[in-house]
């Protein structure tokens, strides 16, 4: 499927748009800096070890909990690491930012009467912090988290339960995410329109998917032939 086909389907046929949060709507730089720099720094200081030693140890711990609910459970990590993870996130909340054109895109979806659902693995405390900082929460008809669904988006049961609570029709739904594995799961579940958000972090080069339509910025999905909206300037 080509970007032109996806864009046309979005505005003509799609009724529900499911969108990931971190890396898709929001700049992943915050999360990358937090888990790869700030947390190792604080852990090293607390335990009297080097930064490099702390980072190696933490990355090993992180990998042990990938694709589980613990992965994004900040209460779990507070207990596991002996650090106040929510408080540390508050300390650097100024780094939380939306990607360019996000608010324009969300506004256009609402203008076109689309149901807009955030589908995220993020812990509900993290969602609350980020929605308070970015003030984009009002655009969403519903926020579906992995905690609520009982498993991460990488697993089919997430989608089965999300379909029930959000009431979307797989054949008329679009899902946008920056993680290939998650998109593959959504495809296996039967979501018809899948889009890969290739630019997750403002500090890293864009990724690439050979399986799905790639977009760097949401303006590529705007309902006009030249890819530009009349809604105004970029959100950030």
- Asked whether 170 and 189 are in contact (CB, 8 A), the reply is yes
**Exposed e or buried b per residue across 20-34, where buried means at least 16 C-beta atoms within 10 angstroms of its C-beta:** bbbbbbbbbbbbbeb
Which entry of 5, 13, 56, 84 is annotated as an active-site residue? 13
* 85: its two tokens: 């993870």
Nearest alpha carbon to residue 30 among 94, 118, 103: 94
The span from the CA of 196 to the CA of 219, in Å, is: 14
The span from the CA of 72 to the CA of 23, in Å, is: 14
CA 59 to chain centre: 21
Angle between helix axes 51-64 and 74-81 (nearest 10 degrees) is 130
Residue 5 φ/ψ region, left for φ over 0, alpha for ψ in the -120 to 50 degree band, beta for the rest:
alpha
Catalytic residue flag (residue 13) = yes
Query: Sign of torsion, CA 227 137 168 200?
Result: positive
User: Would you please indicate which residues are annotated as catalytic (active-site) residues?
Assistant: 13
């Amino acid at each position: 499927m080509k970007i032109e086909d996806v864009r046309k389907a979005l505005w003509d046929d799609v009724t529900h748009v499911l969108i990931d949060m971190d890396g898709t709507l929001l700049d992943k730089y915050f999360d990358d800096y937090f888990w790869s720099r700030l947390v190792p720094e604080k852990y090293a200081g607390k335990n009297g070890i080097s930064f490099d030693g702390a980072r190696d140890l933490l990355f090993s711990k992180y990998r042990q909990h990938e694709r589980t609910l613990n992965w994004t459970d900040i209460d779990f990590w507070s207990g596991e690491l002996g650090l106040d993870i929510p408080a540390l996130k508050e300390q650097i909340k100024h780094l939380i930012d939306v990607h360019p054109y996000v608010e324009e895109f969300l506004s256009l979806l609402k203008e076109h009467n689309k149901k807009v659902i955030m589908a995220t693995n993020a812990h509900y405390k993290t969602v609350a912090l980020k929605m308070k900082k970015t003030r984009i929460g009002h655009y969403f008809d519903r926020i579906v988290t992995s905690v609520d669904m009982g498993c991460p988006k990488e697993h089919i049961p997430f989608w089965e339960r999300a379909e029930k609570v959000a009431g979307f029709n797989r054949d008329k739904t679009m899902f946008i995410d920056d993680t290939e594995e998650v998109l593959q799961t959504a495809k296996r579940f039967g979501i018809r329109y899948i889009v890969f958000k290739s630019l997750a972090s403002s500090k890293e080069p864009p990724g690439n998917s050979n399986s799905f339509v790639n977009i760097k910025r949401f303006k590529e999905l705007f309902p006009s032939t030249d890819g530009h909206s009349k809604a105004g300037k970029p959100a950030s």
